[in-house]
Amino acid sequence: MVDTTAQIAATGRRKTAVARVTLTPGTGHYKVNKKALPDYFCSEALIGYIMQPLQLTNMQDKFDISVKCRGGGIAGQAGALRHGLARALVLADASLREVLKNSGCLTRDPRMKERKKPGQPGARKRFQFSKR
């Protein structure tokens, strides 16, 4: 079950974003890069996406969560935070693994930006074809 003394640390990744998540037993305070969660992620949709692992496991008010996010954009950081949070919850209580795995929270999203190809204006875009 949940150990009431130790900190639990985990890392989550999405695109080029990395989130280092630290769980401490507490009352449900969230800090992302030393800011409150709603101040850092302004969108309600992103906050709901981030909170999904906590809501699935009913752990919203059992941990204080401290996060350091780096790289990527705001949506990539939200995905990285969700992934790291799910991994930290599994470290805290291994019985939560099945619930989080079935909901897709433990899967690292492998989609990355496609590289630009030489002689083209973008990754997929081509210059206009001229027959003559």
- In SS3 terms, 15-64 reads as CCEEEEEEEEECCCCEEECCEEHHHHCCCHHHHHHHHHHHHHHCCCCCEE
On the question of pLDDT at 105 being above 60, the answer is yes
pLDDT digits (tens, 9 = 90+) for 40-57: 999 999 999 999 999 999
pLDDT digits (tens, 9 = 90+) for 55-87: 999 998 999 999 999 999 999 999 999 999 999
Half-sphere exposure of 117 (CA within 13 A, CB side): 7
3-state SS class at 13 = strand
- Size of the chain in residues: 132
Closest alpha carbon to 89 in 119, 57, 67: 57
Q: Are 52 and 99 in contact (CB under 8 A)?
A: no
Tokens coding 76: 């990539």
Name the pLDDT band for 38 (thresholds 50, 70, 90): very high
Q: Are 27 and 108 in contact (CB under 8 A)?
A: no
Domain 8-103, CATH among 3.40.1280.10, 3.30.365.10, 3.30.230.10, 1.10.10.10: 3.30.230.10
Say what the pLDDT of residue 6 is. Answer: 84
